[in-house]
């Protein structure tokens, strides 16, 4: 399990993490989402043992991460700007990782060669951004990690390669019980692969659930009232209300059944519960955290 408790980090006068509590169950694929500057990358760097927290704790498999070689040898990461030695090719980097990661598998590396159509003797600096990302995945998966921590990992990959790397990671999750934490702004993609989601804002995890739980707990209702509904909707606890003609769209933080029961006392012509996408949940949750879409025309 990956766990941070009351994680605090200041950069000078700026508080980047303000008591972040994160829990990633073992064997899960956890999507960490949040607006720009929410503290996702800072949190990830704590999980990798790069940053040391000012307060709170950062644990993986029950052990503190900072200067813990045993834990760090079980973690592989792909940061948003992956570093490789300027003169190195993939083979050189493989030799380097092999000498550093005790569980590095050359056999796996050779097997993965077929999945990534890359010339391992060509300098990595000559690769496109997407090819460099592929190289990073190739090496990270060859480290045989128990924990895979990814920051904007599929940025720059073409759709086919995206599917390829997700498929490789999913097979690792299935076969080896690898825990994956992935930070991304591509919510559509996360929705397909994640079983847990954490929403981060202003240095805190504001919402953390399994994806199904999250979708069950937030509902989108389309309602048509017999009479004027303005007075009714103002008395209902909704995250968001919009109206198109006589059709009201309500986003409510409760189960569909609960929401329908809430509307039962009112005369309605139509009540329809629709499933929410992760993107909608994010947008409406963040709207509640003062990060809503502003109707500003310039």
Partner 1 sequence: MASKISWFNRTLYKKNLTGCWPLWVITSILACLVPLSVWAGADGISKASVITALQVVCGGNPFFLNIYGLIAVAITWRFLHQPRRTLMMHALPLSRNCIFLTGILSSITVILIPYAVACVILIFLSIPVGVPAAAMLQSAAVIFGELLICVAMGTFCAMITGSTVMMVVLYFVFNYLAVFTDSLISSYSEGFLFGIPGNSFDGLEFLSPMVYVGDSVMLESGAGNSTYLQGRLTLAVYGLLSILLILLCWLIYRRRNSESAGEAISVRILRPVFLCGVTVYSALTLGRIFYTILFGFFFGTQYYRLIPIICCMAAGGLIGFLAASMLLKKSFRVFDTKHLAGAAATVAGCIIFCVLLRADIGGQVGYIPARDEVSSVTVTVNSDTFNGNYLIRRGENALMEQVMDLQRELIAEKDELTQPGYDSYLSSYYDYCIVWYKYKLVSGETVERSYRFVVTSEPLRGIMESLQTGAAEIRRLHLDQDGFVLEGVWLENSYSPEQLGSVQTSELLAAIRADMEDGAMPMTDTDVFDLSMEYIYRDPDRTEPSAAALYDNIRLAIPSAMERTRTYLRSIGYDSFVLSN
Please identify, using beta-carbon distances, which residue of 106 and 274 lies nearer to partner 1. Answer: 106
Please enumerate in sequence order all residues whose Cβ is within 8 A of that of 133, keeping only pairs 6 or more positions apart, or say none: 78, 82, 153, 154, 155, 156, 157
Site membership for partner 1, residue 253 (CB under 8 A): no
Residue number with CB closer to partner 1 (72 or 133) = 72
Judged by CB under 8 A, the chain residues 71 through 100 that form the site for partner 1 are: 72-73, 75, 77, 79, 81-83, 85, 87, 95-96, 98-100
Nearer to partner 1, 98 or 253 (CB): 98
Distance of closest approach, residue 77 Cβ to partner 1, in angstroms: 6
279, 156, 188, 204: which is closest to 37 by C-alpha? Answer: 204
CB of residue 48 to partner 1, shortest distance in Å: 4
CB of 69 to partner 1, least distance (A): 5
For residues 74 and 61, give the distance between their C-alpha atoms in angstroms, rounded to a whole number: 10
Which among 43-51, 127-135, 170-178, 290-298 is the span making contact with partner 1, rule CB under 8 A? 43-51
How far CA 79 is from CA of 2, 186, 287, in Å, comes to: 17, 16, 28
Q: Out of 101, 137, 166, 225, which residue is the one contacting partner 1 (CB under 8 A)?
A: 101
- Decide: is 107 part of the binding site for partner 1 (CB under 8 A): no
Which window, 24-32, 41-49, 158-166, 255-263, contacts partner 1 (CB under 8 A)? Answer: 41-49
CA dihedral of 253, 259, 262, 264, whole degrees rounded to 10? 160
The DSSP bridge partners found for residue 7 are 20
Q: Which helix (H) or strand (E) holds 9?
A: strand 2-11
Closer Cβ to partner 1, 67 or 228, answer by number: 67
DSSP state of 218: -
> Exactly one of 49, 153, 203, 229 binds partner 1 (CB under 8 A); which one?
49
Q: Which residues pair with 223 in a beta bridge?
A: 248, 271
User: Taking contact as CB under 8 A, which single stretch among the options 66-74, 178-186, 202-210, 283-291 is the one that binds partner 1?
Assistant: 66-74
Best CA proximity match to 281, nearest among 184, 199, 189: 199
Q: Which of 7, 22, 48, 58 binds partner 1 (CB under 8 A)?
A: 48
Q: Is 129 in the site for partner 1 (CB under 8 A)?
A: no
The contact set with partner 1 (CB under 8 A) reads 11, 45, 48-52, 67, 69, 72-73, 75, 77, 79, 81-83, 85, 87, 95-96, 98-102
């Amino acid at each position: 399990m990956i766990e941070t408790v009351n994680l605090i980090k200041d950069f000078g006068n700026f508080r980047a993490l303000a008591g972040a509590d994160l829990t990633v169950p073992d064997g899960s694929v956890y999507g960490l989402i949040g607006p720009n500057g929410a503290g996702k990358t800072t949190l990830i760097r704590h999980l990798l043992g790069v940053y040391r927290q000012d307060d709170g704790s950062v644990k993986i498999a029950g052990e503190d991460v900072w200067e813990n070689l045993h834990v760090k040898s079980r973690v592989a990461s792909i940061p948003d700007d992956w570093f490789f030695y300027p003169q190195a090719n993939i083979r050189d980097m493989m030799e380097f990782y092999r000498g550093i990661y005790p569980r590095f598998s050359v056999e796996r590396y050779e097997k993965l060669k077929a999945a990534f159509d890359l010339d391992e003797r060509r300098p990595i600096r000559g690769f496109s951004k997407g090819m460099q990302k592929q190289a990073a995945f190739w090496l990270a998966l060859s480290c045989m990690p128990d924990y895979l921590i990814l920051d904007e990992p599929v940025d720059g990959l073409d759709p086919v390669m995206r599917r390829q790397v997700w498929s490789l990671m999913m097979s690792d999750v299935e076969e080896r019980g690898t825990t994956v934490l992935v930070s991304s702004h591509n919510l559509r993609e996360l929705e397909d692969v994640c079983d847990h989601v954490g929403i981060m804002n202003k240095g805190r995890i504001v919402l953390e659930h399994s994806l199904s739980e999250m979708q069950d707990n937030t509902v989108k209702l389309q309602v048509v009232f017999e009479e004027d509904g303005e007075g009714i909707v103002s008395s209902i606890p909704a995250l968001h209300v919009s109206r198109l003609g006589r059709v009201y769209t309500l986003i409510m933080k409760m189960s569909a059944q609960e929401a329908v029961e809430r509307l039962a006392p009112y005369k309605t012509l139509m009540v329809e519960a629709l499933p929410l996408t992760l993107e909608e949940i994010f947008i409406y949750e963040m709207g509640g955290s003062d990060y809503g879409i502003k109707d500003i025309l310039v």
